[in-house]
Amino acid sequence: MSMEEVARRAGVSTATVSRVMNNKTVVKSATRNRVMRVITELNYHPNLLARTLAGGCSRTLGMILSNMENPFFFDVYRAAETLAHTHGYEVAAVNTGYRPEKLLAGIRMMIGRRVAGLAVIASEMEPSFLNEVTESKIPAVFYDLGSSRQGVQNIRVNCRPGIGRIVDYLHDLGHRKFAYIGHHPAYGPAGEREVTFVESVKRLGSAWRTACAQDSLEGGRQAARLLLESGFRPTAVICVNDFMAVGALRELRDRGLHVPQDVSVTGFDNIKLSEFCHPALTTVHIPRERIGRRVVAMLCPEEGSTTAGDIVIDPELVLRGSTGPAPA
């Protein structure tokens, strides 16, 4: 049932109903009450589609994420959602599962829905997709875009020092055979971590090897299996993130390898799970909540554009039980 219905029953015009619904300028309180009563009686809910179509502004932020199953992304989403709510915005999330076609479909849907702002937290982002976004004129912000292009807001978290510290730390503990477990996307934060890993181990002159699989618990296990079946026997396994590291832990244990006595394992992100697995993961803290909040701050006009893009983090190593001295 529509506004017209409400208007008729209350003996007013739709314009007045609209005013009441939006707490607009002075409406005689008698009139207001009358309208309100009808609204509750009829259990009337305005058609949000019509509202935004007419009003022009949607009060919804779009957010596209690579993998909401991985708590890293979920935490970013939740923080964004929480802050957005305080500003009266909804957050519509799309999960791509790292598939570029889903990313593109998501972008188009968001444009089609005329979201007030769009955040893309996805490493599978491609330049051509970026064009679609910029052409749409919708305010947008990206997470760790490969090439920071002019005029696009980009939140960058520099992960290089984090990976560097991990490798140095393990090297100091006597490790000389390193393995890296990643997931497919070659660009974005994941790619940067791998590149940094390779640079670091080369610099130190240590033996190394990499493997990759899906970004999931199962993927982490699989990558670890690939690694070990290749015959390489690392004493330290550096994972692209905590989520996969937990998977790797399982594979190692199933093979009778003890962590950290036989092999050290590290994660990245410092998700809650990294404290709850056993052994707890040595990892690098990434401020997911800050990222989520920053995103909406950059998208909501209310916050003012005082908020700069780059998040500079001190890539703090979090030492826990999954790392130790290299075996003799």
Q: Which is nearer to a copy of itself, 189 or 247 (CB)?
A: 247
The site map against a copy of itself for 140-179 (x = CB under 8 A) is ----------------------------------------
Select the binding partner of residue 176 from DNA, a copy of itself, none (C-beta < 5 to 8 A, by kind): none
Least separation in angstroms between CB 35 and DNA: 9
- Our finding on whether 319 is near a copy of itself (CB under 8 A) is no
Least separation in angstroms between CB 265 and DNA: 52
Q: Which is nearer to a copy of itself, 131 or 230 (CB)?
A: 131
Q: Which is nearer to DNA, 43 or 150 (CB)?
A: 43
* Beta-bridge mates of residue 14: none
The closest of 264, 269, 243 to 252, measured between CA atoms, is 264
**Phi, psi at 227, each rounded to 5°:** -55, -55
Alpha helices in the chain (DSSP H): 3-10, 14-21, 29-42, 48-55, 71-86, 100-112, 127-136, 160-172, 188-204, 217-229, 242-254, 273-276, 288-299
The closest of 155, 218, 207 to 183, measured between CA atoms, is 218
Select the binding partner of residue 18 from a copy of itself, DNA, none (C-beta < 5 to 8 A, by kind): DNA
Please give the DSSP secondary-structure letter assigned to residue 187. S
> Do strands 60-65 and 90-95 pair parallel, antiparallel, or not at all (unpaired)?
parallel
Select the binding partner of residue 12 from DNA, a copy of itself, none (C-beta < 5 to 8 A, by kind): DNA
d(CA 35, CA 220): 59
The closest of 235, 250, 229 to 328, measured between CA atoms, is 235
Q: Which is nearer to a copy of itself, 195 or 257 (CB)?
A: 257
The site map against DNA for 40-69 (x = CB under 7 A) is ----x-xx--xx-xxxx-------------
Q: Which is nearer to a copy of itself, 135 or 172 (CB)?
A: 135
Q: Which is nearer to DNA, 114 or 209 (CB)?
A: 114
The two structure tokens encoding residue 231: 């015959």
Distances (CA, A) of 237 to 63, 207, 320: 32, 12, 15
d(CA 82, CA 102): 25
Among 8, 27, 90, 303, binds a copy of itself (CB under 8 A): 90
Q: Which is nearer to DNA, 58 or 206 (CB)?
A: 58
Among 101, 135, 172, 314, binds a copy of itself (CB under 8 A): 135
* Beta-bridge mates of residue 212: 182
Sign, CA torsion 219/142/305/59: negative
Q: Provide CB contacts within 8 A for 60, sequence distance 6+.
A: 52, 89, 90, 91, 92, 113, 115, 116
Among 8, 32, 165, 320, binds DNA (CB under 7 A): 32
Choose the stretch contacting DNA; rule: CB under 7 A; options: 28-36, 88-96, 169-177, 181-189: 28-36
Sign, CA torsion 215/217/218/220: positive
d(CA 40, CA 43): 5
> Within positions 96 to 115, which residues make up the interface with a copy of itself, using CB under 8 A?
108-109, 111-114
Q: Which is nearer to DNA, 50 or 186 (CB)?
A: 50
- The residues that touch DNA, with contacts defined as CB under 7 A, are 2-4, 11-16, 18-19, 21-22, 25-28, 30-32, 44, 46-47, 50-51, 53-56
- The residues that touch a copy of itself, with contacts defined as CB under 8 A, are 43, 45-53, 58, 68-69, 71, 74, 78, 81, 90, 92-93, 95, 108-109, 111-114, 132, 135-136, 216-218, 221, 246-247, 249-250, 253, 272-273, 275-278
